[in-house]
Amino acid sequence: MWSMKSSFKTKYFLICWSVFIFGSCVSPLEKERVEVIGNSIKLGHLEIAENRFPNQMTWSEANKACENLGKGWRLPTDKEITYIRMRSMEIGRNCFYGGCYWSSIEVGLQRALASYGEEKWPTLKTQYCYVLAVKTTKGLSDKQTIDKNVKPEVRIGNQIWMTKNLNVDHFRNGDVIPEAKTEDEWLRLSEYECKPAWCYYQNDKKYGDKLGKLYNWYAVNDPRGLAPEGWHIPSEDEWKTLKNYLGGSFKAAKKMMTKEGWEPQYGRVWVMKGMRHGYQEKRRIGIGTNESGFSALPGGFRARSGAFAKMGAYWWSSTKGYGRYEAFAHELKDYTGIKRIIENKSRGLSVRCVK
């Protein structure tokens, strides 16, 4: 076990070797300050509750246990767990019992990332893992604070996607994006003035947490930046890469759709009875598996007139269309596949970010 009195040379070697694996190397003098306060450890902007939970829990139980510690306590992200493991060796105290630890990162509806040593695996939320609670201390810059709208992410091939639709009401520079609460406001901002605008589906805030917001393309393409820091709006080529990795339009749709939340689709299926006979039976088809963790839900869209429709999921790309008022988007209506479409820039669609 490393001690607080470890030599500067030894610490420098440890940090550089760890960062060789996890990121860029910096001098120990630039590392965040380490403090031990009672049963907590403070690593720069993070405070860790050390060995508070000796028993393993399900993911939902773990979240509740962290909340019960008081305001601000939460599960760490997978990157924070990696960082804490690296630094806990350095200060001579081990925050971990061994085994797997829950992170706050969800992978679809039924799984979350769990840390097994240096490995991270999507794990069923009903499994039992150890719990480490952290909270963010004061003194962070605006860019460092944890934004409630920053969504969990999932790796699909070589891409990292948000697992929820974007739900921000300001650009990256802090400027407010106008909300269009009525059909007249949407028509004025989107159709007549060609300015950025957003709305909730059916202008009802209750849909925000689950479905995100609907944006016109003028908000998507605004130079002030709609996507949070480190993210961007996917181009047409990036959407194509996603579909190809998941096996093409038809297979990708099934792997992207959540198991619940979609209107059931039914079809006639031929069922064999014996060697030569059979019959047709009406069965539910097109059930999503969400195998990819993309967690697509039918968020609907807003027409140029300001009216709403909910026939599937629709996402903007950052790629302009052929006409002056057109841009490429993607439509996922049912099990028939995810398709590239050309939309008028005045329509309100969902946004997924990638990095």
Nearest to 163 by CA among 111, 241, 215: 111
Q: Give the model confidence (pLDDT) of 56-98 as tens digits.
A: 999 999 988 988 888 778 898 877 787 777 766 555 555 665 6
pLDDT of residue 42: 75
How many angstroms from the chain centroid is the CA of residue 166? 9
Same structural domain for residues 218 and 292?
A: yes
pLDDT of residue 52: 67
Residue pair 179/133 in contact (Cβ under 8 Å)? The answer is no
The span from the CA of 205 to the CA of 210, in Å, is 10
Q: Please indicate, yes or no, whether the overall pTM of this predicted structure exceeds 0.75.
A: no
Q: Is residue 171 part of a domain?
A: no
Q: Give the model confidence (pLDDT) of 217-273 as tens digits.
A: 999 999 999 999 889 999 999 999 999 999 998 899 989 998 877 766 655 555 555
At 130, the amino acid letter reads: Y
Residue pair 340/328 in contact (Cβ under 8 Å)? The answer is yes
Q: Is residue 174 part of a domain?
A: no
The parent domain of residue 222 ranges over 183-344
Residue pair 256/292 in contact (Cβ under 8 Å)? The answer is yes
Same structural domain for residues 29 and 116?
A: yes
Same structural domain for residues 278 and 192?
A: yes
66, containing H or E segment: helix 59-68
Q: Is residue 31 part of a domain?
A: yes
Q: Is residue 161 part of a domain?
A: no
Nearest to 354 by CA among 165, 97, 87: 165
Residue pair 85/2 in contact (Cβ under 8 Å)? The answer is no
Same structural domain for residues 27 and 142?
A: yes
pLDDT along the chain (355 residues), means of 10: 42 41 34 51 74 83 88 82 69 62 79 81 90 69 36 86 94 92 94 95 91 96 91 94 93 88 62 56 66 92 91 92 90 82 95 94
pLDDT of residue 122: 86
User: How many C-beta neighbours within 10 Å does residue 269 have?
Assistant: 12
Ramachandran category for residue 138: left, alpha or beta (phi over 0 → left; psi -120 to 50 → alpha): beta
